[in-house]
Amino acid sequence: MSNSRTRINHQIRAVELRVIGAEGENIGVIPTSEALKRAEVLGLDLIEISPNANPPVAKIMDYGKYQYTENKKTKLIKAKAQNSEIKEVQVKIGTGEHDLELKASKVTEWLKEKNVVRIDLFLPGRSKYLDNKFLVERINRILKFVSEPYKISQPPSKSPKGMSMTIEKA
Protein backbone atom coordinates (compact mmCIF):
# COMPACT_ATOMS: atom_id res chain seq x y z
CA MET A 1 0.00 0.00 0.00
CA SER A 2 1.67 3.23 -1.10
CA ASN A 3 1.62 6.44 0.90
CA SER A 4 0.30 8.50 -2.02
CA ARG A 5 -2.91 6.42 -2.16
CA THR A 6 -3.62 6.51 1.57
CA ARG A 7 -5.66 9.58 2.47
CA ILE A 8 -5.32 11.13 5.91
CA ASN A 9 -7.18 13.86 7.81
CA HIS A 10 -8.48 16.58 5.45
CA GLN A 11 -7.60 14.57 2.30
CA ILE A 12 -10.55 12.24 2.99
CA ARG A 13 -13.40 13.17 0.64
CA ALA A 14 -16.22 10.97 1.96
CA VAL A 15 -19.14 12.62 3.78
CA GLU A 16 -19.57 9.77 6.27
CA LEU A 17 -17.07 7.24 7.56
CA ARG A 18 -17.19 4.03 9.55
CA VAL A 19 -14.65 4.92 12.22
CA ILE A 20 -12.46 2.60 14.29
CA GLY A 21 -11.07 4.16 17.47
CA ALA A 22 -7.50 4.35 18.68
CA GLU A 23 -7.96 1.25 20.87
CA GLY A 24 -9.54 -0.75 18.01
CA GLU A 25 -13.13 -0.19 19.17
CA ASN A 26 -15.86 0.40 16.57
CA ILE A 27 -17.18 3.95 16.94
CA GLY A 28 -19.69 3.54 14.11
CA VAL A 29 -20.77 5.58 11.09
CA ILE A 30 -20.24 9.29 11.77
CA PRO A 31 -19.70 12.43 9.63
CA THR A 32 -16.10 13.06 8.54
CA SER A 33 -15.94 16.39 10.35
CA GLU A 34 -16.83 14.75 13.69
CA ALA A 35 -14.28 11.97 13.11
CA LEU A 36 -11.59 14.59 12.40
CA LYS A 37 -12.48 16.41 15.64
CA ARG A 38 -12.19 13.15 17.63
CA ALA A 39 -8.78 12.42 16.11
CA GLU A 40 -7.61 15.99 16.79
CA VAL A 41 -8.69 15.79 20.46
CA LEU A 42 -6.62 12.61 20.88
CA GLY A 43 -3.66 14.17 19.04
CA LEU A 44 -3.80 11.43 16.37
CA ASP A 45 -4.57 11.23 12.64
CA LEU A 46 -7.67 9.99 10.82
CA ILE A 47 -6.45 7.46 8.25
CA GLU A 48 -8.66 6.07 5.49
CA ILE A 49 -8.07 2.30 5.72
CA SER A 50 -10.63 1.01 3.21
CA PRO A 51 -11.72 3.73 0.73
CA ASN A 52 -13.77 1.35 -1.47
CA ALA A 53 -16.07 0.16 1.32
CA ASN A 54 -19.55 1.66 1.69
CA PRO A 55 -19.20 3.81 3.79
CA PRO A 56 -15.39 4.09 3.71
CA VAL A 57 -13.55 2.80 6.78
CA ALA A 58 -11.18 5.10 8.65
CA LYS A 59 -9.08 4.54 11.75
CA ILE A 60 -7.89 6.98 14.38
CA MET A 61 -4.18 6.32 14.93
CA ASP A 62 -0.70 7.80 14.53
CA TYR A 63 0.18 8.05 10.83
CA GLY A 64 3.85 7.22 11.46
CA LYS A 65 2.86 4.02 13.22
CA TYR A 66 0.48 3.17 10.37
CA GLN A 67 3.26 3.65 7.80
CA TYR A 68 5.61 1.50 9.88
CA THR A 69 3.13 -1.39 10.12
CA GLU A 70 2.30 -1.20 6.40
CA ASN A 71 6.01 -1.26 5.46
CA LYS A 72 6.53 -4.21 7.79
CA LYS A 73 3.66 -6.08 6.10
CA THR A 74 5.03 -5.48 2.60
CA LYS A 75 8.53 -6.59 3.66
CA LEU A 76 7.06 -9.76 5.15
CA ILE A 77 5.16 -10.49 1.93
CA LYS A 78 8.33 -9.96 -0.13
CA ALA A 79 10.29 -12.24 2.19
CA LYS A 80 7.69 -15.00 1.86
CA ALA A 81 7.68 -14.76 -1.92
CA GLN A 82 9.63 -17.72 -3.23
CA ASN A 83 12.58 -16.66 -5.34
CA SER A 84 13.51 -19.79 -7.22
CA GLU A 85 15.79 -20.04 -10.20
CA ILE A 86 15.82 -22.62 -12.94
CA LYS A 87 19.14 -24.44 -12.69
CA GLU A 88 20.30 -26.68 -15.51
CA VAL A 89 22.36 -29.82 -15.54
CA GLN A 90 23.39 -31.50 -18.78
CA VAL A 91 24.11 -35.18 -19.24
CA LYS A 92 24.91 -37.25 -22.32
CA ILE A 93 23.88 -40.78 -23.22
CA GLY A 94 27.29 -42.21 -22.30
CA THR A 95 27.82 -40.26 -19.05
CA GLY A 96 29.39 -42.56 -16.48
CA GLU A 97 27.93 -43.48 -13.08
CA HIS A 98 30.46 -41.43 -11.09
CA ASP A 99 29.83 -38.31 -13.17
CA LEU A 100 26.09 -38.81 -12.69
CA GLU A 101 26.63 -39.01 -8.92
CA LEU A 102 28.54 -35.72 -8.97
CA LYS A 103 25.86 -34.01 -11.04
CA ALA A 104 23.12 -35.49 -8.83
CA SER A 105 24.83 -34.09 -5.71
CA LYS A 106 24.67 -30.64 -7.33
CA VAL A 107 20.99 -31.21 -8.19
CA THR A 108 20.35 -32.25 -4.54
CA GLU A 109 22.03 -29.04 -3.35
CA TRP A 110 19.87 -26.91 -5.68
CA LEU A 111 16.69 -28.69 -4.58
CA LYS A 112 17.55 -27.95 -0.94
CA GLU A 113 17.72 -24.27 -1.94
CA LYS A 114 14.21 -24.71 -3.43
CA ASN A 115 15.37 -24.10 -6.99
CA VAL A 116 13.76 -25.72 -10.00
CA VAL A 117 16.18 -28.03 -11.85
CA ARG A 118 16.03 -28.84 -15.54
CA ILE A 119 17.90 -31.97 -16.57
CA ASP A 120 18.93 -31.94 -20.22
CA LEU A 121 19.93 -35.12 -22.02
CA PHE A 122 22.21 -33.85 -24.76
CA LEU A 123 21.81 -35.85 -27.97
CA PRO A 124 24.38 -35.18 -30.68
CA GLY A 125 23.75 -36.13 -34.30
CA ARG A 126 21.89 -39.37 -35.00
CA SER A 127 21.29 -40.18 -31.34
CA LYS A 128 18.29 -37.81 -31.50
CA TYR A 129 16.45 -40.55 -33.38
CA LEU A 130 16.96 -43.31 -30.79
CA ASP A 131 13.96 -45.00 -29.14
CA ASN A 132 12.10 -42.71 -26.70
CA LYS A 133 11.95 -45.40 -23.98
CA PHE A 134 15.73 -45.75 -24.08
CA LEU A 135 16.20 -41.96 -23.88
CA VAL A 136 13.79 -41.62 -20.93
CA GLU A 137 15.64 -44.42 -19.14
CA ARG A 138 18.92 -42.56 -19.76
CA ILE A 139 17.57 -39.27 -18.37
CA ASN A 140 16.08 -41.07 -15.33
CA ARG A 141 19.49 -42.57 -14.43
CA ILE A 142 20.53 -39.32 -12.73
CA LEU A 143 17.38 -39.31 -10.58
CA LYS A 144 18.50 -42.51 -8.81
CA PHE A 145 21.33 -40.53 -7.19
CA VAL A 146 19.25 -37.50 -6.06
CA SER A 147 18.84 -37.82 -2.27
CA GLU A 148 16.47 -34.87 -1.72
CA PRO A 149 12.73 -35.62 -2.16
CA TYR A 150 11.55 -34.20 -5.49
CA LYS A 151 8.58 -34.20 -7.80
CA ILE A 152 8.63 -34.13 -11.58
CA SER A 153 7.06 -30.86 -12.67
CA GLN A 154 7.63 -31.49 -16.38
CA PRO A 155 8.03 -35.08 -17.57
CA PRO A 156 10.76 -35.96 -20.10
CA SER A 157 10.03 -34.39 -23.48
CA LYS A 158 11.90 -33.68 -26.70
CA SER A 159 13.81 -30.42 -26.77
CA PRO A 160 16.07 -28.76 -29.36
CA LYS A 161 19.18 -30.17 -27.63
CA GLY A 162 17.68 -33.62 -27.21
CA MET A 163 15.43 -34.36 -24.25
CA SER A 164 14.74 -32.51 -21.02
CA MET A 165 12.76 -32.83 -17.82
CA THR A 166 12.13 -30.47 -14.91
CA ILE A 167 12.04 -31.39 -11.24
CA GLU A 168 11.37 -29.38 -8.09
CA LYS A 169 11.41 -29.98 -4.34
CA ALA A 170 8.51 -32.14 -3.14
Q: Give CA separation, 86 vs 114, 119, 146, in Å.
A: 10, 10, 17
What pLDDT does residue 79 have? 79
Q: Which residue has the higher pLDDT, 149 or 22?
A: 149
Q: Give the CATH H-level superfamily of domain 9-80.
A: Translation initiation factor 3 (IF-3), N-terminal domain (3.10.20.80)
User: Which residues are bridge partners to 16 per DSSP?
Assistant: 31
- In CATH terms, the superfamily for domain 86-169 is Translation initiation factor 3 (IF-3), C-terminal domain (3.30.110.10)
Is residue 150 over pLDDT 60?
Answer: yes
Q: What ranges do the domains of the chain cover?
A: 9-80, 86-169
Predicted pLDDT of residue 78: 84
Quick: pLDDT tens for 56-94.
899 989 888 888 998 999 888 887 776 667 899 999 988
Question: Per-residue pLDDT for 46 more than 60?
Answer: yes
CB burial readout 54-90, b (16+ within 10 A) else e: eebbbbbbeeeebeeeeeeeeeeeeeeeeeeeebebe
CB 18 within 8 A of CB 29: yes
Closest CA to 163 of 150, 101, 134: 134
Whether this model's pTM surpasses 0.75: no
Residue 5: what pLDDT?
78
Report whether 143 contacts 105 (CB < 8 A). no
Question: What is the per-residue pLDDT across 85-144, written as a single tens digit (0 to 9) for each?
Answer: 789 999 998 889 999 999 999 999 999 988 899 999 998 888 888 888 998 998 888 999
Strand order in the sheet with 57-61: 26-31, 16-20, 57-61, 45-50
